Structure 1
Amino acid sequence: MNLKLRRVLSFTSLFMFLVSTSVISAANFEQGEDYSFSEEPTGEIKVVASLSVIADWAAEIGKDLFVPAAVVTGGEDPHTFELLPSAIKMILESDLFIIFGLPGLESWINLESSDYSSLNVLYLATDDMMEVDPITGNANPHLWMDPNLAKIFTQNITDEVILLDIAHQTEYESNRDTYLAELDDLLVRIQETPFNRTTGLKVVVHHPSFLYLLNILGVERMGVIEEHEGSEPSAQHLEEIVETMITENVSIIITQPQIEEKLIIQIARDTNAELAKLTPLLGINNIFTYINMIEYDILSLLNPEAVEEKGWVLTAFIIGISFFGVTVIVLSYYRFKK
């Protein structure tokens, strides 16, 4: 399919979701034809990924040949996820298990255990790929939020898949090339209108999931509300956050559906800030692909929601209208060009 047409269809499908969804909330994964991955791996080789974003990359490589499965599908917090016996069985029966393998990210599985001694594992990332977060002082494992790194991970997956199924090398390489072109196109588009309007924004984030994406967008993080993974911030830290927001005139707090937001709402009310609700995972809120997720996150950042509004309805509507406008313009252009 023509890359420009795929871009139009991508925008259109995301628009249809945003307009038609009346209430958006964290939900369990339900397999559907719009998802690139499934509940169980199928096809030429059985591929299982630790996270939904990895499963989506693998699905792009295995298109028409295999469909991967994801263990953490989206509604869960990958840092605190608990592995179920059914997931363990699926992993053990796979031909390939793909994982980032970074400290603190997928701690729900211990691949050093003898139970996994015969498992074929592809580790996508290394410690030296992580940036030290200048605010938290910790290495940030959320590498997938940078589409440039997604290209590297896609190539690594392709190489490993070909080793397992050399008979279909040509198809895998063709699928890889198509997807890498789409990622390149995404990287160009996020520097153009309307996405480039994020440059210079000041925000406070609930969790440091979006460091790499915000760096690309030119967004300045002024604080991180979560002091330590999975624990409530201290009263002193909250006071410092509020003071920073007031002093630096920060009007946006970034949060995500995998984390409880009651505390964030209170901070937003205390500082007269709005909430930008982004997601770092697929399989939630009908975000079907990695590229859709990045587009959605940027537009959510550009259209923060006042705390007086309940849920995600206003954000979904505004972003939906934005997508609709862009879609109409692009479709009209191609129609008259003919």
Structure 2
Amino acid sequence: MTLYPLNFGRNKKVLKTISLVVLSLLLTLNLSFAQERRDGLNVVVTIPVLADFARNIGGDLISIKSIITGLETPHTYEPRGSDVKAIARADLFVRVGLGLETWADKLVRNAGNSRLIQVSASRSCNIINNNPHVWMDIENARRMVIVIREGMVRADPFHAELYRRNADLYIRHLLALDGEIRKALAPLSGQAIVTVVPAFTYFLKRYGIEEAATIISVPGKEPSGRHLRMVITLMRKRGIRIILTVPQFSPGIPRLVAEETGATVVVATQLPGSLPGTDTYIEMLQEDVRRILKAIEGSGQPE
């Protein structure tokens, strides 16, 4: 076996070159990681309530965009080019599911974002008749927060502990709010109201208020004259004096029913930001309760 003398001078140069290459790669990786942390997790959601949940979990670590602002109707929304671009740049996309956002699948396909993590926030909720407005029950809201939190952890495991800590704190606030609302609405337990759209089904059920009838059960479809007469007859027979509607819906039909029955129309909301003083989910529920109680006091309906 032939032994070759080691060329220490040349080996030192090789080692130095390798060291420089490795150092350069490490610096590049560190800079990329730092840039990623500086830019934050890019989250796109379909409706404002999901944005509020995400914001309470992620805080300053995320950038958040809600496709629906609160003034549109999620059922009939038509995505714009800016929505496609937002999904194309997103790390995490959160929707409610249950058929609320029928346009979401096509939006994701058009965006062509292969690294996008998608979450259906309603996947662990208690569902009533496939009604998608699940977040109006605070217990469902708690479950949705957990699902969104885990989506963030998947997309950004580096901050997993912080996301979990923030979610736990927010859930405590939600549970405290639940107790406050239950106490405020206790006098209405067993009472009946009529809704224009089924946006408050979960909310009313949670606090023991009967949803005696819904004027429009199919989004975007006008009620028949026969159905309106049935609702009016029911309200007269049972002395129902409250009609609960949302700001996204035209006031014409609720006003007509109110004139026929002597009822009061209450405009509440299921989407944060669509009424004054409802910028967050918690503020929204507080304002809804305030409006319902104020209407009950002035309607003559027994408390």
TM norm structure 2: 0.80
Shift of 1:63: 1.1
Which residue is 2:239 aligned to?
249
Q: Distance in 2 between matches of 1:227 and 1:184?
A: 30
Which residue is 1:124 aligned to?
121
What SS does structure 2 have at the residue aligned with 1:222?
strand
For the 8 Å contact 1:79–1:106, the answer to whether it is kept is yes
Q: Distance in 2 between matches of 1:112 and 1:265?
A: 36
Q: Distance in 2 between matches of 1:174 and 1:196?
A: 32
Candidates 40, 50, 54, aligned match of 2:50: 54
Which residue is 2:273 aligned to?
283
Candidates 87, 91, 98, aligned match of 1:91: 87
For the 8 Å contact 1:202–1:220, the answer to whether it is kept is yes
2:213 pairs with 1:223? yes
2:103 pairs with 1:108? yes
2:180 pairs with 1:180? no
Q: Distance in 1 between matches of 2:282 and 2:164?
A: 20
For the 8 Å contact 1:102–1:141, the answer to whether it is kept is yes
RCO higher in 1 or 2 (8 Å CA, sep ≥ 6)?
A: 1
What SS does structure 2 have at the residue aligned with 1:292?
helix
Which residue is 1:199 aligned to?
189
Shift of 1:61: 0.4
Q: Which has the larger share of helix?
A: 2
Summarize the Cα distance change of 1:57–1:273 in structure 2 as closer, same or farther, 3 Å threshold: same
Which residue is 1:171 aligned to?
162
TM norm structure 1: 0.72
Aligned length in residues: 258
2:64 pairs with 1:68? yes
CA RMSD of aligned residues (A): 2.1
For the 8 Å contact 2:244–2:265, the answer to whether it is kept is yes
Summarize the Cα distance change of 1:258–1:306 in structure 2 as closer, same or farther, 3 Å threshold: farther
Shift of 1:116: 4.8
Greater Cα offset, 123-132 or 183-192: 123-132
Shift of 1:271: 0.4
Q: Distance in 2 between matches of 1:120 and 1:97?
A: 6
What SS does structure 2 have at the residue aligned with 1:304?
helix
Summarize the Cα distance change of 1:256–1:233 in structure 2 as closer, same or farther, 3 Å threshold: same
Shift of 1:289: 0.7
For the 8 Å contact 1:197–1:302, the answer to whether it is kept is no
Q: Distance in 2 between matches of 1:293 and 1:275?
A: 18
Higher-Rg structure is 2
For the 8 Å contact 1:97–1:120, the answer to whether it is kept is yes
What SS does structure 2 have at the residue aligned with 1:110?
helix
Summarize the Cα distance change of 1:294–1:128 in structure 2 as closer, same or farther, 3 Å threshold: closer
Summarize the Cα distance change of 1:248–1:43 in structure 2 as closer, same or farther, 3 Å threshold: farther
Shift of 1:266: 1.3
Summarize the Cα distance change of 1:101–1:111 in structure 2 as closer, same or farther, 3 Å threshold: farther
Instruction: List structure 1 runs of 4+ shifted beyond 3 angstroms.
Output: 111-114, 126-129
CA offset digits 1:175-231 (Å, max 9, x no partner): 111101101111111122x33233122111100010000001111111111142211
Identity fraction in percent: 31
In structure 2, what residue type is equivalent to 1:131? I
Shift of 1:47: 0.3
Q: Which runs of 5+ in 2 are unaligned?
A: 1-37, 299-303
What SS does structure 2 have at the residue aligned with 1:46?
strand
Shift of 1:141: 1.2
